[in-house]
Amino acid sequence: MKRYISAIFLAFLLASCADDDSDTFLVKGGDTSYSSDEDDSSSSSARFSSSSVLRSSSSSARSSSSLKDAYLEELSRNGPSESCDFGILRDSRDGQEYRTTVIGEQTWMAENLNYDSAGVCYGNMPEYCDVFGRMYSVDAGAKVCPEGWHLPSLEEWDVLFATAGGENYANRTLISSYGWKEQMNVADSYCFTVLPGGYFDDDEYKLLKSGVCYWTSTSDGTYADNPFRNIYFDYERSYVYEGGASALDKMYIRCVKDIDE
């Protein structure tokens, strides 16, 4: 993919999402302690739509925490445009329902996958699964999408970016208009609603509210230690970029619908 970026970011962009050493928000291993300012979810920066948070799984029926309660307070006031024409994907494995959106000739899940199998919640906190979905290893991610859907390749992500204004602007047109550490002026134009759920790498949970990583099904030898390609969105830039990650990392999944032959 062509990258039209200044030289000052080049070295960083060649690294994977897993190589990002930001300490914006870290939770070591299974330790669920975290900084109080990052958990101040009652602020206007923490806004999540009801369709994204409320799922029909048993996880959404677990006991509420103050964090989840703060998210729920914002449900009726924020979210993607009312003009979004969402479809519904019902996962027959567990009964969960996900919004879907048609972008160009592709049909994508408009929420992150939250299927229990082999997935983890950010910080091992179930309420984060309710908001962001689950993170998976690349091996699990390759086979966790519902029947009729699949883990998108890097090329399929490129098609999405081209449809959404080009990869140099897709970070503005695909991310959610709420929930980020420093909210950009975005419109969620394609009802894709990327939320800042962070990722897991080096035994730490990282970048909650600041960024998010997604697996692709593409792997290559560009980075010997990080051969699996991933997509990264953050709150600072207009462009989206891809990098390399190891099989030990855990990231989110957006399934794309199979094309009927």
pTM of the model: 0.77
Domain total of the chain: 1
Residue 141 located in a structural domain: yes
Residue 1 located in a structural domain: no
User: What pLDDT does 82 receive?
Assistant: 67
Cβ burial, residue 195 (10 Å; 0-12/13-18/19+): buried
User: What pLDDT does 219 receive?
Assistant: 93
Alpha-helix runs per DSSP H in the chain: 10-14, 50-53, 66-73, 126-132, 138-141, 154-163, 170-174
> pLDDT band at residue 79, thresholds of 50, 70 and 90?
low
Residue 138 located in a structural domain: yes
Residue 212 pLDDT > 50, yes or no? yes
Q: What is the pLDDT of residues 138-188, one digit of tens each?
A: 999 999 999 999 999 999 999 999 999 998 889 889 988 778 887 666 768
Residue 8 pLDDT > 70, yes or no? no
Range of the domain at 49: 7-257
Residue 57 located in a structural domain: yes
Alpha-carbon distance of 59 to 56, in angstroms, equals 8
CA 24 to chain centre: 17
Do 98 and 89 meet the contact criterion of CB atoms below 8 Å apart? yes
Pairwise pLDDT comparison (5 vs 257), residue with the higher score: 257
User: What pLDDT does 183 receive?
Assistant: 66
Residue 200 located in a structural domain: yes
Alpha-carbon distance of 161 to 170, in angstroms, equals 6
